[in-house]
Structure 1
Amino acid sequence: MARVTLRASGAACPETAWERYASVDAWASWSPQIKAVHSVSRRLRPGMSGTVESVAGIRAAFVVEAVDDDRHTWTWRVRLGRIRIQLHHEVRPQGHGATTSLTMHGPMLPLFAYAPLARLALHRLVQP
């Protein structure tokens, strides 16, 4: 298994960036690879499950493992066929804006293939 960590900083306040994570209806607005999130819950919570649909029509199942609204962190597992990846997200204050990080654990090839899309999404997450 491999581990990849990505970071991005921008002028959005930490609360704005966190709300973009916490409300799954907002994901498609900053994550260009996401078309829709299919889940009963519309707000991140531990145990939440569903599927993420990509703009290419690919659906990946997910389960949210942990959410800490106060610390602005959350962790989830995503499954696409036999590929399983754990993703841990954080939002922190930095200067007059926010920095976000994503640490992914899983098979090396899928992590490196997904990294450019994830990096773009993280940069968009922290823009005002």
Structure 2
Amino acid sequence: MLKKIISVALFGALGGIIRSWIQSGLDAHTGTLPLALILINVIGSTLLGCLTGGFLTLLDTPDTLNVGLTTGLMGGFTTFSTFQLTLLNLFKTGSMVMGIGFILVSTLLSIGGASLGQWSGTKLLRYYRGSW
């Protein structure tokens, strides 16, 4: 159990650092539009889908690494709390249309990304397992 906690902590820190780096780089160019956050959450959802859809099974990784990559790395990379804060700030500033658009675009693209990732992970697993 302790190994899993350490794995989540280390990978979570890495995910948060990567998110911060990408977000700070993109936010400088997108102004008030929360494009960086949308992109981060869609990429994270897609990668998490791919990992859980078969990639981790294909690599036959230990549970400690699995939980580190999924809960830690992807959990630290994507963020629901930042999504909520961004949404609250949009609504506070009177940007209702942008806020609603942000909800729809973020949610639909993230679900689509997770689905694409799961599909890709499953296809990858079947392809490589079929050739063994």
- TM-score (norm: length of structure 2): 0.29
Higher strand share: 1
Find the structure with the greater CA-based Rg.
Answer: 2
Name the structure where helix makes up a greater proportion of residues: 2
| TM-score, L = length of structure 1 | 0.29
Higher relative contact order (Cα pairs below 8 Å, separated by 6+ residues): 2
